[in-house]
Amino acid sequence: MPLSLNKFKHFFIISLLSTLISGCGFHLAGNYQLPKSMQQLNFDSNDQYNEISRLVKASLIQQDVKFTNQRDTTILRLGQERFERGTLSLFSSGQVAEYELIYTLQYSVIKPSTDAQSFEIMIRRDYLDDPRSAQAKSREREQLLNEIRQQATKLIMSQLAQLD
């Protein structure tokens, strides 16, 4: 008999935790609940084939968004992405030791019969620069840029999920 009471306690605790977690709005990372007005989108970008456009479009497809060219649907328009590089520190010889990458992306959401909502994403990252390993640093910089674009995509999806 104690075994069935123990099973009941486990079942009750698991049920209670499941209810609490789902009731508080918890969802897995990357699983965005887009508003109904975003289920059909007109996707527009300066360059449809650049990396950020490809990443955002893939995330939208993952959320079952249908793309259309109709004028009476919500338009997601990506602007030009910008990378700036600033100096953070120098070696004693005067060479740059550490850089700061600043990534900026502007985008807007235009819903039918409303004004456009404009957003800007700015992500800052710093990285060390060793002139003796230039090839490795070049690959590291490319990997860093890809990570920044992935983070920007997640931020866009998160902000789209909050619109309504």
Q: Tell me, what CATH number does 134's domain have?
A: 3.30.160.150
Digit-coded pLDDT (tens) for 106-159: 999 998 888 889 999 999 998 877 666 666 677 888 888 999 999 999 999 999
Q: Is residue 22 part of a domain?
A: no
The whole-model pTM stands at 0.76
Question: Residue 97's pLDDT band (boundaries 50, 70, 90)?
Answer: confident
Q: Which residue has the tokens 């650049």?
A: 50
Q: Is residue 137 part of a domain?
A: yes
Structure token digits, residue 147: 């990570």
Q: Which residue has the tokens 């990506």?
A: 78
pLDDT value of residue 81: 92
Domain that holds residue 128: 34-162
Distance CA 142, CA 132 (A): 18
Q: Is residue 25 part of a domain?
A: no
* CA angle centred on 34, ends 56 and 65, rounded to 5°: 55
- The answer to whether residue 30 scores a pLDDT higher than 80 is no
User: 3-state class of 8 per DSSP?
Assistant: helix
Distance CA 55, CA 4 (A): 50
Q: Is residue 12 part of a domain?
A: no
Distance CA 32, CA 90 (A): 42
- Count the domains in the chain: 1
Distance CA 34, CA 157 (A): 8
